Structure 1
């Protein structure tokens, strides 16, 4: 068995399948970890979800911010009448996609973990305030339980409100919706932090392209977790692969939806594979 990690697919189905063929991926014996953001931006999110659902026993997935947006639409908070993205609307009109969301996608976590391999994955990374693996796994379960439960509509309404966003963990004293808001921001949207660990949610550029000396990428800040585990994440295509990250923190979003590449990493062989992508005009 080979364990593969792949970056944000973003609806690039053809490139995704081509990359799997390039590595001779066999869903009957191999395992595929995915950094989230399965859908949106690219041309064929529907077939991405169809395919992943068909091999669901062979994949370990974390939800990304785009996946959470789709869930918010299907689980009842956002009105599809306000959606102007044709590709998202196609997903909402597809009965099979709705079934996949209700039976599978909404149960996926924000963190995947393998104790034996010492692998940790989330969409955006692991915030510097969390230095305990049990806490990290616990907060992921908190969000999964609320998304798959009766109060998902209240949850999505709260986290979609920019005014109510929570960016400070406050030493694990947060409760209720504020706590859930921080968890979602940290695991699906985070890039930079202030010196005290508070999340800064606006800056997207690479570290060498920002002028603020106060901001640091989350992975440059001290955290014992960053040394104990190999951490895989997506979300931040401006990092240009591994140019800025420490050796055991691996960013896999190499900008397929911006006309760059879709990238996969073989854990056992410690080797990267990529597939060129053409920018989709309706991004």
Structure 2
């Protein structure tokens, strides 16, 4: 059995399937971890969701900001767009959205020594706090009041964790930290605006990648993340970042995480992943 973690797919279905072929993904025994942003912008968002739903027993998924946007569009909280419309117009829309609502903000595997969150884990949270707060927002997203709750999530919130804030403000911070953060200041304020790579100019302004934030709470597990295409493939003892910008003409990257040494496999991606390939999983037999 192999366990592969894959960065942001963002609807690049053809590239995703090509990557699975390259790593010889075996539905009878292998597992996938998907680091969020399954959909949006790419032309195969519906096909991506359908495929992952069909192999759901083989997949661990964390939600990204684009996945949250899709769910919000289903509830009428956000506007849709041409790459999300096929999902919302599908006769399977409710089934797919309900399944997506059931996914996590944080996945933890002590045996493998990894956890996974789309943008990472706030410098303010140790693992226990992160698990507790993730579970809380997961329950709200899965509730009958999900649409009302999501409407509140898209209002401006705080960039600093405050236990004394209102429950809705705390939820906004939690969701934003798990799905949108990249940089932080020395006092642990998060920056949700900068989208570029870490530079000396930003460091001089006090902005560092969240995983370099001074006095960040210890997380004993290595954190798998996506979300940051301009950071690209990055790994150290604490973090494994896998968003390599497939949507932008970069690569789609998988990392095998069940062995002592991480194995990285990438494929080159076209800027637009427009073609369709066979959606059935019946042909996904082992190709060893």
TM-score under structure 2 normalisation? 0.89
For the residue of structure 2 that corresponds to 1:86, the secondary structure is coil
1:92 is the counterpart of 2:85: no
- Unpaired runs of at least 5, structure 2: 275-288
Q: Which residue of 2 aligns with 1:57?
A: 57
Counterparts of 1:85-234 in structure 2 under 5 Å? Answer: 85-102=81-98, 104-131=99-126, 133-161=127-155, 164-170=156-162, 172-208=163-199, 210-211=201-202, 212-221=204-213, 222-226=215-219, 228-234=220-226
CA contact (8 A) 2:12 2:273 kept: no
1:225 offset after TM fit, Å? 2.8
Distance 2:129 2:217 in 1: 13
1:46 is the counterpart of 2:46: yes
Distance 1:182 1:129 in 2: 11
1:97 offset after TM fit, Å? 3.1
Residues 64 and 176 of structure 1: is their aligned pair in 2 closer, same or farther, counting only changes over 3 Å? Answer: same
CA deviation vs aligned residue, 1:215-249 (integer Å, no higher than 9, x gap):
111010233534x211100000101211xx53331
Q: Which residue of 2 aligns with 1:255?
A: 245
For the residue of structure 2 that corresponds to 1:37, the secondary structure is coil
Distance 1:250 1:216 in 2: 17
Q: Which residue of 2 aligns with 1:265?
A: 255
CA contact (8 A) 2:186 2:206 kept: yes
With a CA cutoff of 8 Å and minimum separation of 6, indicate the structure with the bigger relative contact order. 2
CA contact (8 A) 2:125 2:217 kept: no
- Unpaired runs of at least 5, structure 1: none
For the residue of structure 2 that corresponds to 1:238, the secondary structure is coil
Runs of 4+ in 1 over 6 A off after TM superposition: none
For the residue of structure 2 that corresponds to 1:123, the secondary structure is coil
CA contact (8 A) 2:14 2:273 kept: no
CA deviation vs aligned residue, 1:48-73 (integer Å, no higher than 9, x gap):
00100001011000000000001111
For the residue of structure 2 that corresponds to 1:263, the secondary structure is strand
Distance 2:151 2:226 in 1: 25
Counterparts of 1:28-47 in structure 2 under 5 Å? Answer: 28-47=28-47
1:280 offset after TM fit, Å? 1.8
**Count of matched residue pairs:** 270
Higher helix share: 1
CA contact (8 A) 2:254 2:266 kept: yes
